[in-house]
């Protein structure tokens, strides 16, 4: 696993997942669509769109976890998803699906530091994205 001195346990979990289980898009969407079957009708089945959206989401989360961007720089993600009728609850369910997929895929390699890192990351993101969803009327 390639990590840097500035990487966080959250981004380390993503890198380790890639090494052990491969690309997580399909597993994350399977989990998400089980929670939100109506979302599958909106953008499910378009593999290119799903992969593009997941790549953007994962990059944003890794950049945020490694402090390369601030939460206030992530509100673009809301505006990118309004057209798909994504609301705040769905967005944070998706983030939770990413974390759950990584955690389940890593099994006993998942650490308490990873749990804490992801909780901190999502905790920093919620106060920024929540008001943006409200502003967008979602």
What CATH number should be reported for the domain holding residue 100? Answer: 1.10.490.10
- Domain total in the chain: 1
SS (H, E, C) the chain: CCCCCCCCHHHHHHHHHHHHHCCCHHHHHHHHHHHCHHHHHHHCCCHHHHHHHHHHHHHHHHHHHCCCCCHHHHCHHHHHHHHHCCCHHHHHHHHHHHHHHHHHHHHHHCCHHHHHHHHHHHHHHHHHHHHHHHHHCC
Domain boundaries, position 77: 23-137
Most confidently modeled range among 7-16, 65-74, 128-137: 7-16
In this predicted structure, what is the pLDDT of residue 38?
Answer: 86
6-38 residue pLDDT tens: 689 999 999 999 999 999 999 999 999 999 998
14 lies in a domain? Answer: no
């Amino acid at each position: 696993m390639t990590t840097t001195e500035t990487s966080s346990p959250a981004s380390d979990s993503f890198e380790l997942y890639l090494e052990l289980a491969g690309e997580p898009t399909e597993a994350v969407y399977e989990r998400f669509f089980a929670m939100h079957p109506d979302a599958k009708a909106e953008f499910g089945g378009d593999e290119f769109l799903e992969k593009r959206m997941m790549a953007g989401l994962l990059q944003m989360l890794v950049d945020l976890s490694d402090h390369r961007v601030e939460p206030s720089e992530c509100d673009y993600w809301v505006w990118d998803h309004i057209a798909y009728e994504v609301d705040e609850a769905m967005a944070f369910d998706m983030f939770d699906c990413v974390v759950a997929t990584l955690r389940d895929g890593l099994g006993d390699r998942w650490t308490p530091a990873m749990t804490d890192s992801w909780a901190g990351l999502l905790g920093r993101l919620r106060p920024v994205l929540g008001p943006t969803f409200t502003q967008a009327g979602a």
